[in-house]
Structure 1
Amino acid sequence: MGPGLRNVKLCVVPFLLGARSCRSLLKARTLRKMTHKNSSSNGRNSSADGQYATMTEIKKKMLKSFGLEPGFTTEPKSREDLLKYQPKFEDLPARSMQDSFCSAIIPLSTNAVLQDKYINFRGFARLGRLLEDMDIFAAWCCNRHLKVPNLPEGVPLPYSLVTVLVDRIDFTSVSPQGTQDIRLSGHVSWVGTSSMEVVVWLEQIVNEEYQKITRALFLMAARNATNTAAAPVNPIQPANEEEKRILAGGTDRKKQRQLLIAQSVFKVEPNAEEQSLIYKLYKRTTPNEQTGPRRLLPPNCIWMHDSFQMSTIPSFPEHRNQNNTVFGGFLMRSALEISWATAFLYCKARPTLEHISDISFQKPVSVNSFIKMTAYVVYTQENYLQIMTVAEVLDAYTGNHVTTNTFHYTFSAPDAVTEVLPRSYHETMWYIHGRRKFIASRS
């Protein structure tokens, strides 16, 4: 991705309550606690976390915690024997947010191999790679939150963790350098019966102190050991007034998500303002006194069906998670990179990523799948582009397509961009939906 991630106007409560209001408080207190105390959750975490374990170490700990081993096998390791250890909700002790708080490092300053994986040709870190790590780190925070009483020593955690959605990702003006360490921090900020919200943020040293690059909210689902049913999670008992406010913000965010889903343009008709806009689009693209199907493209405009880019990606075992399905972070990286390329090709200039809206994970993706990524420019305004990227799984034998993920990105260009216009009613709904996403990203 390019440099110069701009500051965007961020929504206040409830979106940023977890990141801004508790970051310095929890970071100082929890790291101090973890440095002096060899605390653990089911004996699975050590004070090394407080000394900034690397993401490679975090991944190894995750595998060990779930009783998994690296390496390929034709038959995934059975975890059915762990079902007998599945706890009941009433048996799970409450946890505070400090219990799940931790930090980790991507050691780009000392690891040349990592630099090759993370850096782009301009010397900045690839945001897609960072999204992958944020997804893994969110799962690690959930892992730290879970505490099963009386779990025998050496028995793996009888859970599976699945990414349900990423609520929103906001960027600051800090451009991540590809040769300097990046620190991830986060904690569980809200829980339901079997779901956990995790706030994760990235920082890098600028002028001798850590500056925030981005932060995201992950909603994770807890499943049983065989990923066949929901599993209960530890409730949160706020440790102080700060944690109470964060927890209340998580409840508000859940209500906001439910409201947005209920009001989706794909479920209910556009509002009066949007219907008026649809009519104006029709008048702009229809010749005077024309009643037939012919459409007219105004100057300096492009039809939406000419604005897309597409790629088909085979997936491999290296992209799998502990459930032996495609890792959500890999999908996020792939979608972001094709979206950035689409924005670049559309505006014919290097774009700046401003905002990533909600990312939904609708269906698991098998590791032997072909993944079709299609990125459409669905809305433009001045020098901004709103891109919707759809991920589909292709069945090579039947030709069937199943949509598994949808991603929404806001990019900016150095200059005003060509206006994109819908031609069909279906595209018009995409246009209205993209306009809503853009307005939300700028509010």
Structure 2
Amino acid sequence: MDNNSTSSPSKTIPVNSTFANPFETIDASSSLRKPLSLWPGMYHSPVTNALWEARSNIFERLLDPPTDAPPQTELLTKAPSRSRTSILYNFSTDYSLREQYRDPWNEVRIGKLLEDLDALAGTISFKHCSDDNNTTRPLLLVTASVDKIALKKPIRVDTDLKIVGAATWVGRSSIAIKLDVIQQACQGEKTDTTDDDDVALTANFTFVARDSKTGKSAPVNRLLPETEEEKNLFEEMEEIDRLRKKMRNERGRALEKGEETERLNALLAEGRIFCDMPALANRDSILIRDTTLENSIICQPQQRNIHGRIFGGFLMHRAFELAFSTAYAFAGLRPCFLEVDHVDFLRPVDVGDFLRFKSCVLYTEVENLEQPLINVEVVAHVTRPELRTSEVSNTFYFTFTVKPEALKKNGLNKILTVVPATEEEARRVLERMDAEKS
């Protein structure tokens, strides 16, 4: 592998539209290497195409790994700068690209952006884990979780956009990736520096490494932060990892002591009235089961990633669209996206799988009238009718809000409170609330 592709600071990778120009003849034979869009069945988008063109030597090796190659034996120590990658959307000048990302309200489609974030995070993890040796077999890197994606301000579709990311922390076989989506306030005020006000969205991904032959967990290259900011991010991720382990232990002890019984009963009190005395139930509340939506898809070859599995970003996109629709139907007006709170990738999804997405409003937070919160859960099930089995492959948690002026315009004072009707629903609510506090 070309060492320059991973050791030197990366240049910004431009993103171009994947819409074909009807007046332009495309010569597919003009390059010895086929572009990503010509690989049969491979999932592609403007960003995956751009990453392919910029890092072709990495991806070609993954598509055609050496036969019976030995595993990586020597772990390298790399700085975050070795994996840092940035991509640029020229929305201000590329009208076809703008059209691919425009939503009905002339903002960027969040679901499509989630796809791109996952693709870029995957590229960064590959760059960090590469051993610069073409004779060893590459690692299989998969998205383990999305820890937080927070929208800080609306993202316009008429102004250039940049995504910058790098590895921030590594464990034995896991890599944490932080991404920043940057959009300056005014197109005419471009500068080389980035202010905090320019960051429109932040995202944190965790990838895990597997041996591509045995499927077992594999160690990854060490990370050596160099700058003060990199060191702070590394320490922050260390603390987050420690707190997660502590929370898991504390939750286990709480369950053993039965400390959650009182909280469960408090949550279930209103739900029991809905079930037993519906005429007397609070009209400002609604049961979780009455907020549900569902859709199903058959996973197609065109949606697979470089390893032949269904692309994680595609799953996030589909889950987001359903979550948005769920919040829309629940609130009665267009919701505003705030956060992807957490995504778990519990098992891989394969081509041909029958995938069912089930969503509900898990709970609402109505105390802040200026920004009421709608917390939506989406669960993806891989269903196999021939085997009569159904397994959870992914869980997604999204947070939306509604504008108070829009509520008043529609003659509403506030959004409804959502209550569980069963103990299983109440436990899911408590687990999510506790996770939000951690």
- Given that 1:167 and 1:217 are in contact with CA atoms closer than 8 Å, whether structure 2 keeps it comes out as yes
Aligned to 2:319: 335
What is the aligned counterpart of 2:276 among 275, 279, 294? Answer: 294
Query: How many Å separate the matches in 1 of 2:321 and 2:433?
Result: 22
What is the aligned counterpart of 2:176 among 175, 181, 197? Answer: 197
Query: How many Å separate the matches in 2 of 1:354 and 1:365?
Result: 27
Structure-2 change in CA distance of 1:183 and 1:434 (3 Å): same
TM-score by length of 2: 0.79
| Deviation (angstroms), 1:140 | 1.4
Over residues 258-296 of structure 1, what are the superposed CA-to-partner deviations in whole Å (9 max), with x where a residue is unaligned? Answer: 334445589936975x544433344445569xxxx8254
RMSD: 2.9
Paired amino acid for 2:255: V
| Deviation (angstroms), 1:434 | 3.6
Over residues 2-29 of structure 1, what are the superposed CA-to-partner deviations in whole Å (9 max), with x where a residue is unaligned? Answer: xxxxxxxxxxxxxxxxxxxxxxxxxxxx
What is the aligned counterpart of 2:163 among 184, 187, 206? Answer: 184
What is the aligned residue count?
Answer: 382
1:168 aligns with 2:148: yes
Query: How many Å separate the matches in 2 of 1:125 and 1:45?
Result: 30
Query: How many Å separate the matches in 2 of 1:134 and 1:436?
Result: 26
1:395 aligns with 2:347: no
| Partner SS, residue 394 of structure 2 | strand
Query: How many Å separate the matches in 2 of 1:305 and 1:97?
Result: 45
Query: How many Å separate the matches in 1 of 2:79 and 2:272?
Result: 60
| Deviation (angstroms), 1:52 | 3.2
1:159 aligns with 2:125: no
Query: How many Å separate the matches in 2 of 1:332 and 1:256?
Result: 26
Query: How many Å separate the matches in 1 of 2:418 and 2:213?
Result: 46
Structure-2 change in CA distance of 1:246 and 1:339 (3 Å): same
What is the aligned counterpart of 1:58 among 10, 29, 51? Answer: 51
| Partner SS, residue 257 of structure 1 | helix
What is the aligned counterpart of 1:352 among 328, 336, 341? Answer: 336
Query: How many Å separate the matches in 2 of 1:287 and 1:243?
Result: 53
The farther-off stretch of 386-395 and 101-110 is: 101-110
Aligned to 1:370: 354
Aligned to 2:204: 217
| Deviation (angstroms), 1:98 | 1.6
- Given that 2:268 and 2:420 are in contact with CA atoms closer than 8 Å, whether structure 1 keeps it comes out as no
1:42 aligns with 2:7: no
TM-score by length of 1: 0.78
The farther-off stretch of 345-354 and 396-405 is: 396-405
Aligned to 2:398: 409
- Given that 2:178 and 2:202 are in contact with CA atoms closer than 8 Å, whether structure 1 keeps it comes out as yes
Query: How many Å separate the matches in 1 of 2:60 and 2:147?
Result: 30
- Given that 2:305 and 2:311 are in contact with CA atoms closer than 8 Å, whether structure 1 keeps it comes out as yes
| Deviation (angstroms), 1:118 | 1.5
| Deviation (angstroms), 1:378 | 1.1
- Given that 1:385 and 1:412 are in contact with CA atoms closer than 8 Å, whether structure 2 keeps it comes out as yes
Counting only pairs closer than 5 Å after superposition, residues 3-402 of structure 1 correspond to structure 2 as: 42-45=3-6, 49-54=10-15, 55=47, 56-61=49-54, 64-67=57-60, 79=65, 81=67, 83-84=69-70, 86-88=71-73, 91-148=74-131, 151-152=133-134, 158-173=138-153, 175-207=154-186, 208-209=189-190, 211-226=198-213, 228-263=215-250, 268=255, 272=259, 275-286=261-272, 294-296=276-278, 297-382=281-366, 383-402=372-391
Structure-2 change in CA distance of 1:201 and 1:275 (3 Å): same
Paired amino acid for 1:322: I
Paired amino acid for 2:364: T
Query: How many Å separate the matches in 2 of 1:398 and 1:112?
Result: 48
Over residues 359-387 of structure 1, what are the superposed CA-to-partner deviations in whole Å (9 max), with x where a residue is unaligned? Answer: 11010000111211111111112122111
Identity of aligned residues (%): 24
- Given that 1:87 and 1:232 are in contact with CA atoms closer than 8 Å, whether structure 2 keeps it comes out as no
Gaps (5+ residues) in structure 2? 16-46, 367-371, 408-413
Query: How many Å separate the matches in 1 of 2:435 and 2:379?
Result: 15
- Given that 1:109 and 1:181 are in contact with CA atoms closer than 8 Å, whether structure 2 keeps it comes out as yes
| Partner SS, residue 206 of structure 1 | coil
Gaps (5+ residues) in structure 1? 1-39, 70-76
- Given that 2:13 and 2:54 are in contact with CA atoms closer than 8 Å, whether structure 1 keeps it comes out as no
Query: How many Å separate the matches in 1 of 2:115 and 2:253?
Result: 29
| Deviation (angstroms), 1:101 | 1.5
Structure-2 change in CA distance of 1:360 and 1:377 (3 Å): same
| Deviation (angstroms), 1:189 | 0.5
Over residues 183-239 of structure 1, what are the superposed CA-to-partner deviations in whole Å (9 max), with x where a residue is unaligned? Answer: 110110011122111101111232224611111111111223447233322111232
| Deviation (angstroms), 1:433 | 2.7
Query: How many Å separate the matches in 2 of 1:400 and 1:78?
Result: 34
| Deviation (angstroms), 1:337 | 1.0
| Deviation (angstroms), 1:308 | 0.7
Query: How many Å separate the matches in 2 of 1:238 and 1:438?
Result: 28
Larger relative contact order, structure 1 or 2 (CA cutoff 8 Å, min sep 6): 1
